[in-house]
Structure 1
Amino acid sequence: MPRKIALVGVGKIAVDQHIPALNASSEWELSAAVSRNTVVDGVPNFTDMDEMLKAHPEVEVVSLCMPPVPRFAYAQAAIAAGRHVMLEKPPGATLSEVHTLADLATKAGLTLYATWHSREAAFVKAAKAWLVGKTIKSFTVTWHEDVRKWHPNQDWVFEAGGMGVFDPGINALSIVTEILPDPIHLKSSVLDFPENRDTPISAQLDFYHPHGGTVTADMNWDHSGDDVWQIEAVTDAGVLTLKNGGGVLLIDGVVQTGAEDGLSGEYPNLYANMARLVADAASDVDLRPMLHVSDALTLGKRNVVKAFDW
C-alpha cells in the first residue's frame, strides 16, 4: 500500500516537480495539500497546517516546499504531530534551525530528509565514481541562470533568508560536495548585492583543496540566454565535464551514455529515497552544501551593484 503524504507550500517547484513525481509513484499517495494561494486538484486543501494535521492523522509524511524562512515552524509542527518530514532545498533558513529539527526528529523516532535534488541528476553518480583515485588539478563550477525565468516576481528570494544567487548556487554545491573525493572549505568570496536587495545576485567563490587543486565557483543569477550549469574537473587522468546540472557527462570531450533521463529523474528519485528512509527508520540530513553558503556569506567581500527589478 502506498504511504499517504501531504504537500505543504504549493508554488512553482511543487507544481512543476513534486506533484508529477508523487502522481507517478506507486509508493506514495498525495492525500492533502496546504497552501495560501493554490489548490491541488483531487485532494483536500487547507490554508492552515495545524488544521490539516488534525484532519488527516493517516498522513504519515509531510513534504515542505515553501520558502526556507517559514519552513522551521511547519517542520516543527509536523514532527510534534508524529509525522516524518521531507525538506525541499535549502533545508532551512539557518544551519542552527535544521540541527534543531534533526534533534527533534531523532528524539521522536521520525525521519527527517534534507533533499538535494541536483544530486539525483542522471550522471552525478558516474562523475563521483570517475573521480575516485584521481588527482584534482582544477575544479571549476559555472552556474549561470536568469532569476526572472525561475522565480518570476518572487521577491522573497531577495529578502533576508532567501539566499539570492545561492538559491540555485546551492544546487551546484550539493553536487560538488557529493562528487569531490576530498573535503574542501571556503577561503574567500566576493558577493554582488543589488543596491535595492538584501541578498546577492552573483558570487565568486575560492575554496581550499587539501591536495593543492584549484577549486572555484562562478555564480550569476542575472544571466541572459541559455542556462549554464557546468562543473569541469581537470585531473591527472583526463578532464571530466558535467553539463546541464549533471544531466550530461563528458570525459575528455566524449559524451558518456548509460543514463539518459537527464534531470527528469531528480524528484522521483528523491521520493524513492524518502520511502526507503521511512521504511528503514532512518534520516538523511547532509548540511555540507548549506555550510559553504554560510561561509560565503560570512567571508564575503560585499560589492554594491545596480538595482535589480523584475
Structure 2
Amino acid sequence: MNFNVKKDVIQLTSMWKGERFPDGRPRVPDHYLKALHALTLEEVWKPIFVKGYINQFEGELKLLHQDGRKLIGRAVTAVYCPTRPDLNECAMDIGREEGRTGTYNQWVIDSLVEGDVCVIDMYDKIYKGTFLGGNLTTAIANRTKTGGGVIWGGIRDVEQMKQVPGVQVFYRGIDPTPIREFVMTGFNTPTRIGKAICLPGDIVFGTDSGVLFIPAHLVPEVVDGAVKTKVKDMFGFEMITQNRFTTAQIDKNVWTVEMLDLLMEFIRNDHRAEEFQEIDWSEEYDLAINGDPNDTQSAL
C-alpha cells in the first residue's frame, strides 16, 4: 500500500488528455473553473447525467456558509476507516517512508495547491471525526486561495472556520472533539461521498443544493453544454409564455429544426442572448434531422 501514487492517478483518469499536476491529477484549465461560477447546478448536471454519470451528486450535506457562495476546484481525495492497531502502524510506517509528517488529515492539507478542494470520506464519523477545524481551514485557505472541503464526516471550531476568508466547506455534522481513532486507506484514490463517487482531479461544483463531481475529461463539454442549456432555458421560458410551444416540447432532449431556427432568431435579436451568439449548434441540427437513438422523450 502506498499513498498518492502518480501512476495510479494517471491510470484512474486515463480519459483526461491534457496537462497534469506533478501528482498525476488532471489540471483542468482555470478558465473552465471561472466559467462554472456563472452556471447553475442543473445546467452543469444535465450533460453529465445524459452521458451515464448518474452517481455524481450528493445533497445530504451541511454548509459552513449559507450565503450563496459556490465551492469550485480540483479534487484531492482521501479515504479513511476506523482505527485498528496493526493497520494504523502499517499506514504510519508507509507515510514516514514517503516523507509525511503529522496526522493523516495533515498529509492531505500539506499536498494542496492553488485551486484545490479536499474531498474526504470520513465514513460519516462526526464524534472524534472532525477532519477540519480552525487551524486546518486556515491552512486550506493559504494553500488553495479559493478552495475548501467536502467532508463526509465532522468539523469543529466552526466560529473560527467562519472567520477564514474565501473558503466554503460541506460537511455532515459538528462536534467539539478533536479527530481521533482513524486510519488512512487511500490518498488520491476513488472516494465515495454519500451516493456520489469522486476521482482525483474531478472538478468539485458545490452549491446551496449540494455537491456535484464533474469528471475532468468531461469539463469542456459540460461547460459548453451548460451554456447551451442556459440559453435554451431562456428561450424556452419565452416560448412557453407566448404559448408557442408546450413544456413537453421544450423539455425534450432533441429539438425540431423549427424550434432550433426560432432559437437562432432569438439569439440574434434578443439583447439577453448576445453572449451566446458564437455558439456552434451544428450538432443539435444534426440530431434534429437524423434523430438521436438514445432519446426517449426525456424531461431532464
TM bucket (normalised to shorter chain) is under 0.3
Q: TM-score scaled to structure 2, two decimals?
A: 0.25
Which protein is richer in helix relative to its size? 2
Work out which structure has the larger RCO, using CA pairs closer than 8 Å and 6 or more positions apart in sequence: 2
Which protein is richer in strand relative to its size? 1
Q: Which has the larger radius of gyration?
A: 2
